[in-house]
């Protein structure tokens, strides 16, 4: 399955309304643009808009006869949605669900059942344990065995863990039998910490690496947010320095940010996060930009 992810995939957090609401029409157009451009891997999660991203992705794929054979879909477990007045958690627009952390066996089974219902799909190709930062014992002791059993039964295609840190992902790779990891924001032009242990460990063990958050939530694409919050002054200045280096080679900073993760042999796929058809086109054009070797040398020299 992991061999079918492709060089680039679409992360659907923006289509769930990350930072700002996205209309149904805009979301559908973005998904259609990604599909027409050849993207076949789509990553989603209950967390993204309290199920909104899953609903929109499922509705789109069900409308494509060829999707059943061609699409690769990953979702996540670890947050169960419960009806009630919840917090936005970065996704304004839908607050009629409360996100409850649950990495138990029952929580995993419930989460997957809810995700299948929301998407209308009959299976998921890949399921990630989502952000278990403070829940190692339950995630490794209950969520992982539950997913491994479902994988062995053929109910799901593959299993992984997805986090915004590299340390616990490395522990998962060493102590469990994962097929893939999704590392967000930790192998970028601004933060290469995943290269210390995680990426070499994945390469040794044949674990696919999906790189997400390659713009560090916006700062490497002209924004001012870093790791989903306002960027500190030192990080803003570091991004400006990277931009100056890229500009000296005639390369847009976002183009280098999109291409950088693929320079490591462990990285299988880079996730693009976009909220419109225009952003899809722009990101794929950036990904195809010509980048001279001298730029990578200067970026490496700059640390």
For the record, the structure tokens of 185 come out as: 């924001």
Q: Is 190 helix (H, G, I), strand (E, B) or coil?
A: coil
The rounded distance, in Å, linking the Cα atoms of 53 and 72 is 15
State the CB neighbour count (10 A cutoff) for residue 270. 25
Query: Does residue 95 contact residue 134 with C-beta atoms inside 8 Å?
Result: no
41 included as an active-site residue? no
Which one from 48, 103, 187, 226 is the annotated catalytic residue? 48
Query: Does residue 96 contact residue 88 with C-beta atoms inside 8 Å?
Result: no
The rounded distance, in Å, linking the Cα atoms of 149 and 228 is 34
The rounded distance, in Å, linking the Cα atoms of 103 and 163 is 14
Query: Does residue 15 contact residue 24 with C-beta atoms inside 8 Å?
Result: no
**CB within 8 A of 156, min separation 6: which ones?**
112, 123, 124, 125, 126, 127, 147, 150
Strands 72-77 and 126-130: parallel
Task: Give the residue among 264, 260, 268, 297 at the shortest CA–CA distance from 195.
Answer: 264
Q: What is the DSSP letter of 220?
A: G
Which residues are the active-site residues?
48
């Amino acid at each position: 399955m992991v061999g079918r992810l492709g060089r680039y995939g679409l992360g659907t957090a923006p289509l769930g309304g990350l930072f700002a609401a996205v209309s149904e029409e805009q979301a559908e157009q973005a998904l259609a643009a990604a599909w027409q451009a050849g993207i076949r891997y789509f990553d989603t999660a209950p967390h993204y808009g309290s199920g909104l991203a899953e609903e929109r992705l499922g509705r789109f794929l069900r409308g494509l006869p060829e999707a059943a054979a061609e699409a690769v879909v990953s979702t996540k477990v670890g947050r169960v949605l419960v009806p009630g007045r919840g917090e936005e958690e970065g996704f304004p627009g839908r607050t009629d669900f409360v996100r409850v952390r649950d990495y138990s066996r029952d929580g995993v089974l419930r989460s997957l059942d809810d995700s299948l219902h929301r998407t209308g799909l009959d299976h998921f190709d890949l399921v990630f344990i989502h952000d278990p930062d403070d829940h190692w014992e339950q995630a490794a002791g209950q969520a992982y065995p539950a997913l491994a059993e479902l994988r062995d039964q053929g109910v799901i295609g593959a299993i992984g863990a997805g986090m915004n840190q590299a340390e616990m992902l490395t522990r998962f790779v060493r102590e469990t039998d994962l097929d893939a990891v999704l590392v967000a924001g930790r192998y970028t032009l601004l933060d290469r910490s995943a290269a210390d242990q995680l990426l070499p460990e994945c390469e040794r063990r044949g674990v696919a690496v999906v790189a997400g958050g390659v713009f560090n939530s916006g700062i490497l694409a002209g924004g001012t947010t870093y790791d989903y919050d306002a960027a500190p002054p030192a990080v803003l200045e570091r991004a400006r320095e990277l931009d100056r280096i890229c500009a000296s080679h005639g390369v847009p900073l976002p183009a280098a940010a999109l291409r950088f993760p693929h320079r490591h042999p462990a990285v299988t796929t880079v996730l693009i996060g976009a909220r419109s058809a225009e952003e899809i086109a722009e990101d794929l054009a950036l990904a195809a930009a010509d980048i001279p070797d001298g730029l990578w040398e200067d970026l490496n020299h700059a640390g």
